Every structure is written in C-alpha cells, then in structure tokens.
Amino acid sequence: MKGRAILCFGGEDWWYHHPHANNHLMKRFARDNQVVFVNSISMGLPGLGSPELFTKIRRKLRSYAKYLRRTPEGIWVITPIVSPFFSSPAWRRINHWLLVCQIRWLLRWLRIERPILWIAIPTARDMVGQFNESLVAYHVSDKYDANPVDTGGHVAFIRQLHEELIAAADIVFYHGWKLLADARQGREKSVLLEQAVDFEHFAAARFRQWECPLPLAPVKRLGKPILGFFGAIERWQIDQSLVEYVSRHRPDWQFVFIGNKTAPLRIEDLPNVHFIPAQPYADLPAFAAHFDVCIVPKDATHDIVKYTSATKVREYLATGKPVVIVPIPEFEPMADVIRIARTPDEFIRHVEECLTTDTPAEADRRQMAVRDKTWDARFTEVATLLEQQLSQRQVTDRAHTDNVR
C-alpha cells in the first residue's frame, strides 16, 4: 500500500504504553503513506476512590503537554484535548465538537483528504463520517466492556458504542480468536488479526552478549533465578495471590516486573519481588537476556485476561527463554512451546523444570514458533485486505453513480 493516508484513533497512548499492534502497524504504514495517530481519547475515568485515578490523570497531562509531535518514523501523533466523560450526552456532544475541530484542522494542515479511518477504541465511534474517509476499519483489541477501571463503570454504554462501530465499519479486525469467536454481529466482514512480534529485535536477547542493565543489576547480583515480566502492571490483572504463594514457597526466586504501574500492589512488600519502571522498547532484549524464565502471572479468572492476546508472550518466545503463563485461551494451542500453569503448585513445578531441564533445542523450538509471525508479515496481510476493501468500495461507488445517472 502506497500513497494513502491513515487516521488512527488508538486504544493506547503512543508516549507511554508498551507498543501494541496499532503502534507496530502504523510504523509500517508510515513507510509509504501519511499516518496520523490520535492518542487514546479514553473510555472513562476510574472512580474517585480508585488508586489508579491520579496516575492516569498525571500520565494524560504529560501527554497533553506534547499535544502534537512527529515521530522518527514520520507519524504525526496528537493528544487531542477532550473530556473523559463520554457517557454524558452533553459531554459527548462537546467532545465530538472538540475532536472534529482539532483533527480537521490537522488534516487540512497536512493536506490529507479521504483518509482510511482506523479505530481501536469504542469512544471514537462518533468520528465515523466526519473526515470524508475512504474506508472505516475497526480494530477490536480487547473485551472493552470487561474493563472495570478504564470504562469508569459505564460498561453498557461502551458495549453500545462497540456494537455501533461494528455496524458502521467496512472491515473489523479482531485481536484474538476468542474475541472473534464470541462476536455476534458483522461476521461477514470480520477478520482475525493475530498479534505478532519484532522477531529479530527480541531474538537478539539470545544471540548477542548483553551487559546487565543498571536497573536490573542489584537483582542480578543476588545470583538467584530471575522470573521476568514486562508490560502494563495493573493491580486488577496481576494475580497477586499466585505471586505471594510462589514467593513464600520459593524465597530464592526473584520476581522482576518491568513496566508502568498504575497503582500500588500488596506484593511490593515481598522481599523477592522487584519493580522496575517502564524501559525503552529498544532496551527490552537486554533485560530479557538476563531473565531465567519469562512469566505471565495474570488473574486467569478475569474476563479481560480470558480475552487477551498479550504481545509479550510472542516477544518472550522470540528471545528463546522458557515461558510460564497462566491459562489464557489464546495460547492454549501453543502448549508445545509454552508451559501453562493451572494452579500455583503447577506454576512452581513448571518453573523448576525450566530451570533444571531446559535445552538449546527447546529454545530453538520456541523461536521457530514465532519466527514467521512478524509485524512485517502481519502488515502485508492488513494492507492487502484494506486495498481489497478500497477497490470494492470504488466499484460500489461507481455503480451507485451510474444508477443515479
């Protein structure tokens, strides 16, 4: 795909989230196309009693301070000034006006006409039809109405916007097979868009010699096994009971969590649990190189985890390191290269096996499982589908014009 323009309403913030699918895909679109990335416009604020509230406000204010910046890839990233209160009819109208004014101004300044509208957050539903777009793609990356924090409790409203977007979109991409399997509408225009990986980037954790990064050095000096995790650290997603159980039964094992932490966790007080702030994406292979086992200790009973297709799992596999996760439906078919722990005792047993019996041949198998699942390959699939949709749209528009005549 070349010479197009893409206006992406992201479900994350370019400046502080671990790169998600939208980030990876838009960087590739930007090689031959104009790309405008609109940072997450929010689905709501946590309640006043929520420990996440002020962290989220502080992060968003920092993003507002950047307002409009151009990335090294040539992508224009904007954090539009809007209210987080999309569920209120009055504020929804105000936000509509604010968003349309800011984005139209930017598109005019960039001389962008008829962009492809890529939406990855339900609250951007009202943007459909506002920019003379040539196509509407809806990227469903989460079970949005299962998020207890970022919806501000307005799950029915978010579900309504989600369903309206499915109806309005020309093509709907689903992040994982469970999200797609549970879709009740728009099946004829729905496509599975699996997560992928920057394989060469993360494979470097195995094939290069890395100095231990300074933030990890105090843990490394303990000379004990390191169980590593990187990504968003949400109080309501991490299975703290699991971490407590393993920490108590294997006090020599060191848990290392790297990423944005939106609220305090009770496991912070454990002597063998360590938290490191989010690190640059470019540096993650250096950290992974010093992990003994990569882990995903999330709460498998939570709906948002049941529907997740965590990017980090494929990134872990690309490093060649052994991987132990809780049961997540998306990864059950990969049980030949991932160890799935269904109880705390199983988690301990799997980690022990990783530490004592893992071999280079198994590391090879893990890397081979994701070697071809790259973002470049995924981009080619997406670009091809979008071009097909654009061609069909042109045929339909010509037929309509001929009928009118």
pLDDT tens per residue across span 61-114 = 888 888 999 999 999 999 998 887 777 788 889 989 999 999 999 999 999 999
According to CATH, where is 3.40.50.2000 located in the chain? 5-196+374-404, 199-370
Asked whether residue 44 carries a pLDDT value surpassing 60, the answer given is no
Cα distances (Å, whole numbers) of residue 74 to 77, 80, 117, 238, 253: 9, 19, 18, 35, 43
What are phi and psi for residue 110, nearest 5 degrees?
Answer: -85, 0
pLDDT tens per residue across span 52-73 = 655 666 777 888 888 999 999 9
Asked whether residue 37 carries a pLDDT value surpassing 90, the answer given is yes
Q: What is the pLDDT of residue 394?
A: 77
Of 260 and 283, the structure prediction assigns the larger pLDDT to 283
Q: Which CATH number fits domain 5-196+374-404: 3.40.50.2300, 3.30.70.1400, 3.30.505.10, 3.40.50.2000?
A: 3.40.50.2000
Q: What is the pLDDT of residue 144?
A: 79
User: Which pTM does this prediction carry?
Assistant: 0.90
Q: Which CATH number fits domain 199-370: 3.40.920.10, 3.90.1170.50, 3.40.50.2000, 3.40.50.1100?
A: 3.40.50.2000
